[in-house]
């Protein structure tokens, strides 16, 4: 018998279609360009700011002081080496900034900013 069929050969019917919250979210890739943000509606009508592209990062140095620095390049991405080639900012990516090399510590596509720690 085929997949999705009863032992008699009849089809199983789906009892309902998917609800909106069960759909897969749209993949947002934060590129290294001039900063662009977007406000989207979340569950319950909550508003959330997401990042589409970024130019600057909030960098924490060895003395726990935060500074804003321009991102020059994405050096490597442990998750996927092709993301580094396309200059896409993801968590744990190593970026080159004006202050030196830094590792991204947050998820820029969901938080609306880029936070990093100086290496």
Predicted pLDDT at 2: 64
Tell me, yes or no, whether 87 lies in a domain.
yes
Residue 119 structure tokens = 């290496």
pLDDT tens digit string along 39-49? 998 888 999 99
Count of alpha carbons within 13 angstroms of residue 63, beta-carbon side: 2
Tell me, yes or no, whether 9 lies in a domain.
no
Please state whether beta strands 56-60 and 115-118 pair in parallel, antiparallel, or not at all (unpaired). parallel
Tell me, yes or no, whether 96 lies in a domain.
yes
Tell me, yes or no, whether 4 lies in a domain.
no
Tell me, yes or no, whether 19 lies in a domain.
no
CB atoms within 10 A of CB 57: 24
Q: 113 lies in which domain range?
A: 26-118
Residue 25 structure tokens = 């979210």
pLDDT tens digit string along 46-105? 999 999 999 999 999 989 999 999 999 999 999 898 999 999 999 999 999 999 999 999
Tell me, yes or no, whether 92 lies in a domain.
yes
Tell me, yes or no, whether 17 lies in a domain.
no
pLDDT(3) > 80? no
Number of domains in the chain: 1
Predicted pLDDT at 42: 82
DSSP labels for 44-78?
GG-EEEEEEEESEEEEE-TTS-EEEEEEEEEEE-S
Give me the CATH number covering residue 50.
Answer: 3.10.290.70
Tell me, yes or no, whether 20 lies in a domain.
no
Q: Is 118 exposed, middle or buried (0-12, 13-18, 19+ CB in 10 A)?
A: middle
Residue 16 — very low, low, confident or very high, per pLDDT cuts 50/70/90? Answer: confident
Residue 24 — very low, low, confident or very high, per pLDDT cuts 50/70/90? Answer: confident
Predicted pLDDT at 1: 56
């Amino acid at each position: 018998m085929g997949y999705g069929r009863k032992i008699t050969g009849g089809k199983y019917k789906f009892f309902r279609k998917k609800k909106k919250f069960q759909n897969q979210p749209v993949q947002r890739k934060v590129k290294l360009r001039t900063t662009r943000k977007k406000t989207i509606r979340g569950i319950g009508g909550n508003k959330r700011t997401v990042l589409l592209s970024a130019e600057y990062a909030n960098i924490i140095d060895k003395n726990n002081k935060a500074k804003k620095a321009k991102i020059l390049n994405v050096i490597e991405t442990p998750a996927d080496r092709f993301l580094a080639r396309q200059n896409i900012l993801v968590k744990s990516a190593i970026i080159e900034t004006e202050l030196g090399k830094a590792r991204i510590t947050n998820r820029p596509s969901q938080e609306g900013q880029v936070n990093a720690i100086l290496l």
